[in-house]
């Protein structure tokens, strides 16, 4: 049985769903076309909120090669009153998820942040409630590896305890400093 899950970017519960290409749906996170495994809003009157599985699992914070001095935070929508941002990587407008530095007003599309592979600098905790435990086990293995590789900003054991104890998915991020 599939279970409903909460995501920080949306007020309603989401459910796993299959999207076909012919539906011509765009992801509410990265604004790219979406087909296949996705998450969609469970409310019948809220019919346009879809996320790629990968966008659902994006880390809330990361360090990016293109902006090494500050971590970038994942915001569910642009930080500006206009409702738009201009991506510092591709110069195009964005209207959905954004990796943002408030200090510098630096913004990256999700897709642009992922483009050069620097996403590997962030290790994310969290998955659908249903596979929380398997995600936790995988995460512990990755964290053990990461400890040898890099500095981890937040206290991982406390966050893992939070994850294990929480009813709802718990999203947190371990960010390795990237120089």
* From candidates 18, 103, 120, 144, binder to Zn ion by CB under 5 A: 103
Residue placing its CB nearer to Zn ion in the complex, 53 or 143: 53
142 lies in the site for Zn ion, by CB under 5 A: no
* From candidates 5, 7, 9, 27, binder to Zn ion by CB under 5 A: 27
12 lies in the site for Zn ion, by CB under 5 A: yes
User: Which residues touch 115 (CB under 8 Å, ≥6 apart)?
Assistant: 89
What burial class does residue 102 get, using C-beta atoms within 10 Å of its C-beta: 0-12 exposed, 13-18 middle, 19+ buried?
exposed
DSSP letter for each residue of 43-106:
-TT----EEEHHHHT--SEEEETTEEEEEEEEESS-SSTTS-EE-TTT--EE-S-EEEETTTTE
Residue ranges in 53-82 that form contacts with Zn ion under rule CB under 5 A: 55, 70
Residue placing its CB nearer to Zn ion in the complex, 144 or 168: 168
> How many residues at the interface with Zn ion, by CB under 5 A?
19
Residues lying near Zn ion in the complex (CB under 5 A) are found at: 12, 27, 29-30, 41, 43, 46, 49, 52, 55, 70, 87, 89-90, 101, 103-104, 109, 112
């Amino acid at each position: 049985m599939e279970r409903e899950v909460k995501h920080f970017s949306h007020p309603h519960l989401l459910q796993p769903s299959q999207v076909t290409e012919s539906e011509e749906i765009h992801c509410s996170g990265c604004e790219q076309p979406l087909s296949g495994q996705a998450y969609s809003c469970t409310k019948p009157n809220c019919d346009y909120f879809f996320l790629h599985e990968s966008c659902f699992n994006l880390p809330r914070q990361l360090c990016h090669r293109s902006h090494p001095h500050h971590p970038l935070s994942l915001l569910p929508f642009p930080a500006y009153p206009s409702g738009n941002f201009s991506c510092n990587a591709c110069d195009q407008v964005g209207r959905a998820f954004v990796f943002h530095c408030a200090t510098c007003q630096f913004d990256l599309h999700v897709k642009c942040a992922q483009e050069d592979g620097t996403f590997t600098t962030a290790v994310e905790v969290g998955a659908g409630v249903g596979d929380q435990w398997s995600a936790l086990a995988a995460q512990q293995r990755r964290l053990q590896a990461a400890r040898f590789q890099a500095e981890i900003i937040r206290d991982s054991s406390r966050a893992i305890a939070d994850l294990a104890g929480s009813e709802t998915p718990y999203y947190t991020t371990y960010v390795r400093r990237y120089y």
